[in-house]
Amino acid sequence: MPFWGLQKQLGIDVDSWLLRQSMPQPHGQAAACHAFEREWVECGHGLGQTRARRECSVEYEDFLECMNRTKLAQRLRTILEQRDKMIKQGKYTPPEHHMGKEESRP
pLDDT tens column, 23-35: 666 666 777 788 8
Q: Which of 30, 97, 26 is nearest to 66 (CA)?
A: 30
All residues at 6 or more sequence positions from 43 whose CB lies less than 8 Å from its CB, including other chains: 52, 55, 56, 59
Residues 6+ apart with CB under 8 A from 19: 37, 41
Per-residue pLDDT at 7 exceeds 70? no
Asked whether residue 69 is assigned to any structural domain, the reply reads yes
Cα gap 23→97, rounded to integer Å? 41
pTM, entire model: 0.60
Q: What is the CA radius of gyration of the chain?
A: 23
**Residue at 104 is within a domain:** no
Asked if residue 24 belongs to a domain, the reply is yes
Contact call for residues 37 and 60 (beta carbons, < 8 A): no
Q: How many domains does the chain have?
A: 1
Per-residue pLDDT for 45 more than 60? yes
Q: Is 106 domain-assigned? A: no
Q: Residue 56 carries which side chain, given as an amino acid letter?
A: C
**Does 4 reside within a domain?**
no
Residue 46: domain span: 17-98
In a domain, 9, yes or no: no
8 located within any domain: no
| pLDDT digit string, tens, across residues 49-86 | 888 889 999 999 999 899 889 999 999 999 999 999 99
| Calpha distance 94→81 (Å, rounded) | 14
8 A C-beta contact, residue 87 and residue 79:
no
Are 70 and 76 in contact, with CB atoms under 8 Å apart? Answer: no
At 1 the pLDDT is: 46
| Residue 50 forms part of a structural domain | yes
